[in-house]
């Protein structure tokens, strides 16, 4: 549905607008990640490991908002690709620590570039100051 075709009363609802922008962003991200041979979850996991260091599968999933069944699948993919490593946690042998590898750090940078292009495409009509304001406002809504 084109924005102009929606009823004005609907177009004035932030929740409707957020939903439409989210759907567009999700599509663009999916396309960009597919073109890069990755997934958005891959980037989220690699970014969490880069920022917070080695951690358990459960904690990474919590940080990224990824369901544990999806985490298992994503970590298997990232392990097979050499982007993360699993090793027994010295403090608790019942769990594994997930660690970012050098290849994973390079992959995260590649995916980050692809996602940055998506942001530029999605927000191309907004000046930098407006983009920064949008991020601030959306962060406040989520917090």
Q: Which residues pair with 87 in a beta bridge?
A: 97
User: Is the pLDDT score of 101 beyond 70?
Assistant: yes
pLDDT confidence of residue 89 = 87
Beta strands (DSSP E) in 16-114 are: 84-89, 92-100
Please, which pLDDT band fits residue 4 given cuts at 50, 70 and 90? confident
- Given the structure tokens 């090793």, which residue do they identify? 87
User: Is the pLDDT score of 1 beyond 90?
Assistant: no
Task: Tell me what the mean pLDDT of segment 43-72 comes to.
Answer: 95
The ranges assigned to domains in the chain are: 37-122
Task: Tell me what the mean pLDDT of segment 7-31 comes to.
Answer: 94
pLDDT digit string, tens, across residues 129-142: 999 999 999 999 99
User: Is the pLDDT score of 28 beyond 60?
Assistant: yes
Task: Tell me what the mean pLDDT of segment 5-22 comes to.
Answer: 92
**Separation CA 133–CA 75 (nearest Å):** 34
The CATH label, of 3.60.10.10, 3.30.530.20, 3.40.50.150, 1.10.10.10, for the domain at 37-122 is 1.10.10.10
pLDDT confidence of residue 76 = 95
**Separation CA 59–CA 50 (nearest Å):** 14
Stated pTM of the model: 0.86
Task: Tell me what the mean pLDDT of segment 109-113 comes to.
Answer: 96
């Amino acid at each position: 549905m084109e924005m102009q075709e929606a009823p004005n009363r609907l177009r004035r609802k932030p929740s409707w607008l957020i939903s439409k922008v989210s759907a567009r962003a999700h599509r663009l991200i999916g396309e960009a990640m597919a073109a890069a041979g990755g997934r958005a979850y891959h980037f989220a996991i690699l970014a969490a490991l880069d920022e917070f260091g080695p951690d358990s599968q459960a904690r990474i999933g919590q940080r990224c908002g990824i369901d544990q069944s999806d985490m298992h699948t994503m970590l298997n993919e990232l392990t097979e690709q050499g982007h993360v490593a699993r090793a027994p946690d010295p403090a608790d042998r019942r769990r594994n620590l997930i660690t970012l590898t050098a290849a994973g750090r390079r992959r995260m940078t590649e995916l980050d570039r692809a996602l940055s292009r998506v942001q530029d495409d999605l927000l191309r009509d907004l000046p930098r100051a407006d983009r920064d304001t949008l991020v601030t406002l959306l962060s406040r809504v989520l917090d």
